[in-house]
């Protein structure tokens, strides 16, 4: 399941496996926050760690509904960039 959510991390940030990244000086990868619609159709923002703390079924539901937006800093990025760090 971890591969589904990308392995790219920023230097010093926690990876999905719980370890520390050693990519100092590398360009940022992955995402900082995600916006998704809740059950009532309201947009809700989650930090990367808040998103990763959700149960896997909830993360998959959010991704599969097709109404998620990923951000790196203030920039909107594609799901591919967010989840695969490209």
Q: Yes or no: say if 45 and 33 are a contact pair by the CB < 8 Å rule.
A: yes
The tally of domains found in the chain comes to: 1
Residue 27 structural domain = 2-84
- Whole-prediction pTM value? 0.62
Burial (CB count within 10 angstroms: exposed 0-12, middle 13-18, buried 19+), residue 13: middle
pLDDT in tens, 9-68: 333 333 343 433 434 445 567 899 999 988 888 999 999 999 999 999 999 988 888 889
């Amino acid at each position: 399941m971890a591969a589904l959510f990308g392995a790219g991390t920023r230097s010093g940030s926690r990876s999905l496996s719980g370890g520390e990244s050693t990519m100092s000086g590398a360009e940022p990868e992955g995402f900082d926050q995600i916006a998704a619609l809740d059950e009532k159709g309201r947009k809700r923002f989650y930090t990367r760690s808040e998103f990763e703390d959700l149960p896997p079924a909830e993360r998959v539901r959010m991704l599969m509904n097709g109404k998620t937006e990923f951000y790196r800093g203030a920039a909107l990025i594609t799901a591919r960039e967010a989840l695969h760090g490209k």
